[in-house]
Structure formats: C-alpha cells, structure tokens
Amino acid sequence: MQKSRIIKDKTAQAIMFGLTIVSILMVVVMFVGLYLKSAPVLEDRSLWGLLTSSEWKPMKGEFGFSPFVAGTLWVTFVAIFLALPISLLTAVFLTEYAKSYVKKFVFPALDILAALPSVIYGVWGVLVIVPWISKHIAPHFMDFSTGYTVLAAGIVLGVMVIPLLVSLFIEVFSSVPLELRESSLALGATRWQTTKKVLFRRTYPGIIAATVLAISRAMGETIAVLMVCGCVIGIPNGFLDPCYPIPALIANNYGEMLSMPMYEAALMFAALILFLVVLVFNLISRIVLYRLEKRLGNS
Amino acid sequence: MKITSKKKVREIVAKSFMWMAMFVVFGLVISVIWTVFSKGVKAMSWDMVSKLPGGGFYIGKEGGFLNAIVGSLYIVGASTALGLIVSIPVVFFLNVYLQRDSKLAYAARMAFDVLFGVPSIVYGAFGFTIMIYFGLRTSLLGGIIVITLLIIPIFIRTMDEATRNLPRDILDASFALGATRWETLKVVLRQIAPGIATATLLSVGRAIGDAASVMFTAGYTDSIPTSLSQPAATLPLAVFFQLQSPIPEVVDRAYAAALVLTVIVLILSIAGRFITNRFSKNKV
C-alpha cells in the first residue's frame, strides 16, 4: 500500500520532469529546425551579404534582406516612439496617482486592448488610420499617398504594444517599496518629483528592459502590419513611404515558396532572424527584470 | 515661494499629461470597438453565421462564414484541451516537486518567457517545416499542433503565477498529513482553480485570434473539415482574406466575421476579470 503510493509519486515525477524538459527543449528544437531549413541559403551566401544586399529577385536567386530589415526597424521605431510616452504616463498615473475608481475603468480598457486579435487591429487600421493618413497627414508632405505607409503600420503597432508596456511598467513600479516614496514625500517633494527622482531612478533598468520586450513583440507582429504597411519592396525613406517588414514577407509568400527550395530557405532564414532577435531581446530583458524584482523585493 | 510655485506648476503639467495619455488610451479602445461594431452590425445577418460561403469565399456573393466559425472552434477546443494536459503537470512540477530556488525551475521559467515572446509567424513557419518533415499538408491537425505549441507558454506562465502566490504552508500541511507530492496535487488544484480558469480564457482568446500561425498550417477552405487531414478555415483568416476582396458582399462577410471575433474576445476578457475579482477574495 505504502509502496504503491510512493511508486505513483515517483512515476508522476518522472512524467512531469519529462514534459518540462520537452517543453524547455522547444526553444532549441525551434532554433535547430529553422536553422536546418535556412541552411541552403546560408551556405550559398554570406550572412553579411544577405542582410545588406537590397536585391530581392527570388526568381533569379537574389535574396537581399535589407529592404525588409529596414522596414521592420522603421515600423518598430515609430511604434515604440508613439507608445512609450503614452504607456509610461499611463503606468505612472495608475501606480502613483489614480484613485481606485479610476482604476476600475482603466484596467478593463487595457484588458480589452490586450485581448483584441491582431487582425481586428488590422481592420481598424485599414478603415480608420489609412484613410486618415491619406486625407489629412500625407497631403501636407506630398501630392498623393494611399495611406498604406510606415506611419500607418507604426500607429497600429503602437496601439497594440501599449497594453503590454503598461502592464510591464506597472509590475516594475510596484516592486519599489512604499517607504521610499513616503520618505521622499515626507521631505516635501511633490508626487511628480518623487516619480522622477525616486521611481524612475530606482527602476530605469526595468523600464529599459520592458521597452526592449515591447520592441521584440512589435518586430514579430504580422497580420495587422501586413494589412496596412503597403508591401512595396524598397527601403523606406520617410515615415510616409510604404514598407515591407520581415513578418509580412514571410506571411505573403508562404504559398509560392514550396516550389523553389532556395526561396523557401530564404524565407525560413527570415523566420530565423526574427526568432534570434526575439530570443536575445527576451533573455536580456527577462534577466534584468528578474534581478530587479529580487533586489527591490528584498530591500 | 518661487521654488514652491515652480514645483506646483510642474506637478500640474505632469498630471495633465497623464490625463491626456489616459484619454488617448480610452479613445483608442472606443475607436477600435466602434469601428468593428458599426461596420459589423450592418453586415450581420443570420445567414452569415449559419451558412457556408457560396461560390468560393473570395468571389462568391452568397452565404456566410460558418466554415470559419466551426474551424476555429475545432482548433481552439482541441488545442486548449491538449494545452491543459501538458501545462498543468509542468506547473505542478515547477512549484511542488522542485525547490523554490531550483536552477531548473529558473531555466524553465526563462524558456517559457522566451517561447511566450516568439512571434506567431515564427511558430507558423516552424510548424510548417515540421509538417513537411512528417509529410502533412495544410490541415486541421497542423493547425491544432501549432496553436497548442503557441498557447502552452501562456498557460504555463499564467498558472505558474497563480501557483507561486500559494502559501508554502498549504503544501507543508498536506505533506505533514502524510500525503505524497502527487496526492498534494488535489490540494493545489483546488487552490489554483481560478488561476486555471483565467489561464484558459487567456489562451482561448489568443488561440482564436491568431492568424499568422494558422495561415501556414491549417490553410483555408470553403467547407467544414470532416477529418483531421483536411484544411480548416479560421475566423481571423476569414476576416483577413475576405477583406481584400473587390466584391462588397464578400467584404461585408469580413466585417461580420470581425464582429463575431471581437464579441467572443470581449466576452472572454470580461469573464477573465470577473473570475479574478470574484475568486481572489476567498482564496487562502
């Protein structure tokens, strides 16, 4: 009787250990899978050549990724540039200022923003943002624009990362002990001074880490960006040019790539780049956030 | 006196900026929801949710998008069940079998954080390569596998958070009564039940809304799949593909599908918050 219980316990342990290891190994398996698939194009070309060349002619075997890399960077930059101040102010407001009845309205609103699928943001972008840019923003700078631009993709993406940024910032800010704020307030500092001199100074590694996480999220976003970015191959020269980020490239071409092994390898290489960037960004920022949590939690 | 007033002005300026940010956030929520509802309600009809598209989903003017609703339900239902089966043991292992400062637990949490951050298009591409390796074509099975992989990190992260807040005393009490760690599972499960529910709602929300991963793996079709090896339509792809059509009736189908998707997601989100508020009060 006793023995069977212990055997049950040990069996369960073994199975659970197995499941845990397998799911951790997913990271490795994913990397190896994508790497093997993109090997043909990596053997054929140098890594540097692939990333810097701007010739994209799959039919002739030319795979230059620089327009797509540039598109991704542009869109991500615009998105973070727009979302960061709004998210930071919202998070400070919610942790330092807001009364509880205000929070009762704001948190569900952020919940909804976080829950909406990216295709819905895409629909919103196509129906609201794109016409708005075409009619009201672009005419100030150029004769005509369809509205499918870096700016449109950046705005849509910015809205999508706001809930993530706010929830990360709130987590970071709530790790600061109340006593620190109280001592600053007791010395006669205003709330804003306390926020700047105590909160921000104490948590700036966390703020940076949260931003890096949001950047990696923004880089991989596909459908919403694909719907509003314009999908014209070329390095954008300004925020009113169309662009073609990496995820859009993969999503748009998945049907045709089967017929040509080299083309498939190139697209898998694109997925590999995304995976690696996300992996590195996530690891760095998570380590910073864990450390911060520990340090501030103990003090 | 002068310094004080400068301080106060800054305080007021900062505060008004914060209110502005708050209004921007609210404005965005209202704008998105309003856009989807105003277009969707006009396009909505009983045929939309009860009929298959007639004459092809891209050009046919007849019918609705029942294929996408059923396809999404199949994929989400199956992958949520699979996800739970994998995630609960992992969460339990991390929190009960392993010590609190275990290196393995740290590595595991890190790995799941990374997997959570991996974009769904990469899951799609990866799933696609696996499917080719096993000789599968775009199919319901492929969609289910990829969505399961996609939501396991969400499941584990959310449930892990709920379990980590569990007081260690509860475990000790169970052990002190002579229960094995496996038998303690019952105690823990009961305690984290609301956490499991919230995690499930979150995962369902993500699973039903994700388009980039199923695009590669589940494909798209006009009919309802009758076996695991047939391709399956999904709601987000119904929106995405039909929105690009030049035919107004088809675009209306996209709007109606967007409305259905949004309503589902809103219900899930509200239910999630309700559970968190309701059950976190009487937890030990």
| Owning domain of residue A18 | 2-45
Report the distance separating Cα A225 and Cα B211, nearest Å: 12
Partner residues linked to B62 by β-bridges: B54
Cα–Cα distance for residue pair B253/B43, rounded to 1 Å: 7
- Residues A34, A73, single domain; the answer is no
Nearest CA in chain B to A103: B22
Residue partners of A63: CB distance under 8 A and separation at least 6: A41, A45, A50, A53, A55, A56, A262, A266, A269
Segment B245-264 shows an average pLDDT of: 89
Determine contact: A14 vs chain B, CB below 8 A.
no
- Are the C-beta atoms of B228 and B253 separated by less than 8 Å? no
**pLDDT tens, B62-78?**
777 888 899 999 999 99
Residue B148's pLDDT is 93
Tokens of A99: 């009364």
A80-121 residue pLDDT tens = 999 999 999 999 999 988 888 888 888 889 989 999 999 999
* A187-203 confidence digits (pLDDT tens): 988 889 888 888 898 88
Provide mean pLDDT across the span A216-235. 88
Same domain, A67 and A142: yes
DSSP string, A30-65: HHHHHHHHHHHHHHHS-HHHHHH---EEGGGTEE--
Banded model confidence at residue A147, pLDDT cuts 50, 70, 90:
confident
Average pLDDT over residues A157-174: 93
Looking at the predicted structure, is the pLDDT value of residue B53 above 60?
A: yes
For the record, the structure tokens of B202 come out as: 């979150």
Among candidate residues B72, B31, B47, the one with its CA nearest the CA of residue B240: B72
C-alpha span between A154 and A133 (Å, rounded): 12
Burial of A198 from C-beta contacts in 10 A (0-12 / 13-18 / 19+): middle
Q: Which residue has the higher pLDDT, A275 or A256?
A: A275
Q: What is the 3-state secondary structure (H, E, C) of B144-212?
A: HHHHHHHHHHHHHHHHHHHHHCCCHHHHHHHHHCCCCHHHHHHHHHHHHHHHHHHHHHHHHHHHHHCCH
**pLDDT tens digits for B141-189?**
989 999 999 999 999 999 988 888 888 888 888 889 988 888 888 888 8
User: Left (φ > 0), alpha (ψ -120 to 50) or beta: where does B219 sit?
Assistant: left
- Angle value at C-alpha B129, between B128 and B135, nearest 5 degrees: 90
> How high is the pLDDT of residue A139?
81
Residue spans per domain, chain B: 2-43, 49-279
Q: Quick one: average pLDDT of A20-36?
A: 89
Per-residue pLDDT, averaged over A144-159, amounts to 89
Whole-angstrom distance, CA of residue A18 vs CA of residue A25: 10
Q: Chains A, B: CB contacts under 8 A, how many?
A: 255
How many residues comprise chain A? 299
Report the topology of domain B49-279: MetI-like fold (1.10.3720)
Average pLDDT value over all residues in chain B: 86
Question: Residue B98 in contact with residue B104, Cβ under 8 Å?
Answer: yes
Q: Are A41 and A113 in the same domain?
A: no
Contact B122 A268 (CB under 8 A): no
> Is B152 in the A-facing interface, judged by CB distances under 8 Å?
yes
Within this chain, do residues A147 and A22 fall inside the same structural domain, yes or no?
Answer: no
Question: Quick one: pLDDT band at residue A265, thresholds 50, 70, 90?
Answer: confident
Q: Assess whether pLDDT exceeds 80 at residue A296.
A: no
> Smallest CA–CA separation between A140 and chain B, in Å?
24
One domain for residues A21 and A148: no
Q: What is the pLDDT of residue B3?
A: 59
Q: Which residue has the higher pLDDT, A76 or A4?
A: A76
| Mutation target among B6, B16, B19, B22 for the A interface, most CBs of A within 10 A | B22
Q: Nearest 10 degrees: CA dihedral of B82, B88, B90, B96?
A: -170
**What's the CA angle centered on B79, arms B77 and B82, to 5 degrees?**
110
Complex-level ipTM = 0.90
> What CATH number corresponds to the domain at position A262?
1.10.3720.10
B164 reaches A (C-beta below 8 A):
no
* B49 interface with A at CB cutoff 8 Å: no
Q: Answer whether residue A299 shows pLDDT above 50.
A: no
Query: What does the DSSP assignment read for B220-232?
Result: --SS---STTS--
Pair A40, A57 in one domain: no
What is the spatial distance between Cα A252 and Cα A250, in angstroms, rounded to a whole number? 6
Confidence tier at A75 by pLDDT (50, 70, 90): very high
Interchain proximity B21–A93, CB inside 8 Å: yes
Q: What is the pLDDT of residue B281?
A: 53
B111 or A51, greater pLDDT: B111
Residues A114 and A168 in one domain: yes
Point out the residue among B108, B120, B266 whose CB comes nearest to the CB of A24. Answer: B108
- Per-residue pLDDT at A153 exceeds 70: yes
* pLDDT for position A8: 85
- For residue B149, the model assigns a pLDDT of 92
pLDDT at A258: 63
Asked if residue A1 has pLDDT above 80, the reply is no
Stated as kind and residue range, the H or E segment containing A236 is none
Instruction: Return the percentage of chain B with pLDDT > 70, whole number.
Output: 95
Question: How many domains in chain A?
Answer: 2
Residues of A in contact with B125 (CB under 8 A): 34, 250, 254, 267-268, 271
Q: Hunting for tokens 């807001």 — which residue is that?
A: A98
Distance of residue B60 Cα from the nearest chain A Cα, in angstroms: 21
Q: Which amino acid is at A242?
A: P
pLDDT of residue A31: 92
Out of A259-273, B60-74, B270-284, pick the least confident.
B270-284
- Of the segments A126-135, B54-63, B166-175, which one has the largest average pLDDT value? A126-135
Q: Is A95 on the interface with B (CB under 8 A)?
A: no
Structure tokens given for A71:
């598109």
Closest partner residue to B130 among A5, A33, A195, by Cβ? A33
Q: In angstroms, what is the C-alpha Rg of chain B?
A: 23
A256 interface with B at CB cutoff 8 Å: no
Set of chain A residues whose Cβ sits within 8 Å of the Cβ of B31: 124, 128
d(CA A285, CA A169): 13
Instruction: Using the predicted structure, report yes or no on whether residue A59 has a pLDDT greater than 80.
Output: no
